[in-house]
Amino acid sequence: MNTVERALMHGLFIHLHHNIDQAIDFGMFKKLNEMVGETSPGTLMIGPDANDDAAVFKMPCDEGLVVAKMESHCSPCVPRPYDSAATGAGGAMRDVVAMGGRPLFLLDFIGTRPLDQEVIVGPCGFKGRCTCGQCETMTSGERINLIVKGIHDMCREMNVFVVGGGLSTSFSDVVPAVVAAVIGRMIIDQPLTKPAKNPGDRLLLIGETGDDGNDTLYRAGLVETMRPAEALFSEEKATMEAALAAIKTGKIKACSDLGAAGIGAAVSESVRFGGLGAIIDLARAPIKKKGLSPEEILICETQARMVFQVDPEDAEEVMEAALAGGAAVADIGEITDGQEAVFRHEEQEIARIPHRPPAELFE
């Protein structure tokens, strides 16, 4: 197991970001929702027990569908509050898009220390004192302003209303709570889902990959300093419009946004949930700058990216629609009948991710 495989599998199989069902009994909520569904005139089509990007609900007396997603970006707001709050909001919006919806409004919650208490913003924020000389000391209230501005600026770029939220200044931890919930409206009749559908389907990547965002490496204990992803405002808007244009073709069979662990997680989860495999050529991915290593392309957490699965005969039409929407797009691989995701860079194999974690991962 090489370093990038260890980091990716740690995120996929151990860290709670991708394994929330290990901490929360979704079966309890499923039973509750079934009971409510016996009397409610609405219909929960995709709920919290599904391995998908967002929930989908059919409102009573309404022919359309509603999409909802809540996402937290707490720890990244310690070293980079503005960007991390913005990417938290943007990530929740992409989750709505991944189901086939356009995000419409957002609610946020911020929890932090009392407004006059000092906090350290920068690489040493978790330590409580700066040893790198790059951090800034500010009040909790000043940090809140950065967080709120990040959420505001992303919503302004994406034309999303902020309709409410909450604030608590009774937290005592170094890490603030930064949570965004986004509600959207489906633009198609049935929701898209994440699991891979058929061997031979092509995988299309929308958006460019950079070298920012190392949360997966940090949480796996492989780097000492967290470097959160940068907020990409105009790119997020271009990716959303390109994705929605592609979705309107009616040719998308499966979809996921790219967030934590980037291309690696989006593809690996899709094929695992679908019981299939994939072969990806990372050299085909559109990149933001030259010189990226294959490992960076695989696991970095650059924002404003989506991955679609389509029939081979539909790939060109979908790519043309996405390009017309204003974003970069490329065919990076295919779904196979295997039981693992294989990531290559031209002829070099970079990582091989099975559906089940190897025993050595836990050593």
Contact (Cβ atoms closer than 8 angstroms) between residue 216 and residue 260 = yes
Give the pLDDT of residue 92: 97
User: What element of type H or E holds 82?
Assistant: helix 81-98
Whole-angstrom Cα distance, residue 64 to residue 186? Answer: 7
Return the structure tokens found at 25: 């009994």
Whole-angstrom Cα distance, residue 194 to residue 308? Answer: 9
User: By CB neighbour count within 10 A (0-12 exposed, 13-18 middle, 19+ buried), where does 315 fall?
Assistant: buried
Do residues 224 and 291 share a domain?
yes
In a 3-state reduction of DSSP, which class is residue 91? helix
Residue 230: DSSP 8-state: P
Q: What is the pLDDT of residues 269-322, one digit of tens each?
A: 999 999 999 999 999 999 998 999 999 999 999 999 999 999 999 999 999 999
| pLDDT over 80 (residue 95) | yes
| pLDDT over 80 (residue 255) | yes
Whole-angstrom Cα distance, residue 154 to residue 172? Answer: 28
User: By CB neighbour count within 10 A (0-12 exposed, 13-18 middle, 19+ buried), where does 20 fall?
Assistant: exposed
β-partners of residue 65 are: 58
Do residues 88 and 153 share a domain?
yes
Confidence bin at 248 (pLDDT 50/70/90) = very high
Do residues 283 and 215 share a domain?
yes
Confidence bin at 324 (pLDDT 50/70/90) = very high
Q: What is the pLDDT of residues 181-225, one digit of tens each?
A: 999 999 999 999 999 999 999 999 999 999 999 888 888 888 888
- Comparing CA positions, the residue from 264, 173, 257 lying closest to residue 220 is 264
Confidence bin at 21 (pLDDT 50/70/90) = confident
Do residues 235 and 128 share a domain?
no
Do residues 63 and 109 share a domain?
yes
Cα angle 215, 217, 220; round to 5: 105
Q: Which CATH number does the domain housing residue 215 bear? A: 3.90.650.10
| pLDDT over 90 (residue 148) | yes
Do residues 103 and 209 share a domain?
no
Contact (Cβ atoms closer than 8 angstroms) between residue 188 and residue 100 = yes
**Lookup result for tokens 């709050």:** 85
> Is 215 among the domain residues?
yes
User: What element of type H or E holds 258?
Assistant: none
State the amino acid at position 320 in one-letter form.
E
State the amino acid at position 42 in one-letter form.
G
Mean pLDDT confidence for 134-161: 97
> Is 16 among the domain residues?
no
Mean pLDDT confidence for 8-14: 92
Return the structure tokens found at 264: 């690696």
CB atoms within 10 A of CB 143: 27
Give the pLDDT of residue 268: 97
Phi-psi region of 100 (alpha: psi -120 to 50; beta: other; left: phi over 0): left
Q: Which CATH number does the domain housing residue 84 bear? A: 3.30.1330.10
Whole-angstrom Cα distance, residue 91 to residue 158? Answer: 12
Higher pLDDT, 21 or 189: 189
Do residues 222 and 352 share a domain?
yes
Mean pLDDT confidence for 165-175: 95
**Lookup result for tokens 């009749």:** 189
| pLDDT over 90 (residue 15) | no
| Domain range enclosing 157 | 41-186
> Is 329 among the domain residues?
yes
> Is 79 among the domain residues?
yes
> Is 222 among the domain residues?
yes
Helix, strand, coil share of the chain (percent; to 5)? 35, 25, 40
| pLDDT over 90 (residue 250) | yes
Higher pLDDT, 59 or 191: 191
Q: What is the pLDDT of residues 33-52, one digit of tens each?
A: 999 999 998 899 999 888 89
Q: Look at the chain and report how many structural domains it folds into.
A: 2
Confidence bin at 13 (pLDDT 50/70/90) = very high
Mean pLDDT confidence for 257-264: 94
Confidence bin at 103 (pLDDT 50/70/90) = very high
> Is 320 among the domain residues?
yes
Higher pLDDT, 105 or 63: 105
Do residues 217 and 267 share a domain?
yes
Q: Among 153, 186, 219, where does a domain finish?
A: 186
Give the pLDDT of residue 317: 97
Contact (Cβ atoms closer than 8 angstroms) between residue 256 and residue 328 = no
Question: Please, what is the average pLDDT of the chain?
Answer: 94
Higher pLDDT, 343 or 223: 343
Do residues 244 and 125 share a domain?
no
Q: Among 186, 217, 237, where does a domain finish?
A: 186
Inter-helix orientation angle 315-325/233-247, to 10°: 140
Phi-psi region of 126 (alpha: psi -120 to 50; beta: other; left: phi over 0): alpha
**Chain centroid offset of residue 133 CA:** 31
| pLDDT over 80 (residue 363) | no
| pLDDT over 90 (residue 265) | yes
> Is 338 among the domain residues?
yes
| pLDDT over 90 (residue 226) | no
Give the pLDDT of residue 219: 81
Residue 1: DSSP 8-state: -
pTM of the model: 0.95
Q: Among 132, 152, 186, where does a domain finish?
A: 186
- Comparing CA positions, the residue from 321, 143, 345 lying closest to residue 241 is 321
Do residues 72 and 182 share a domain?
yes
Do residues 299 and 344 share a domain?
yes
Do residues 231 and 353 share a domain?
yes
> Is 11 among the domain residues?
no
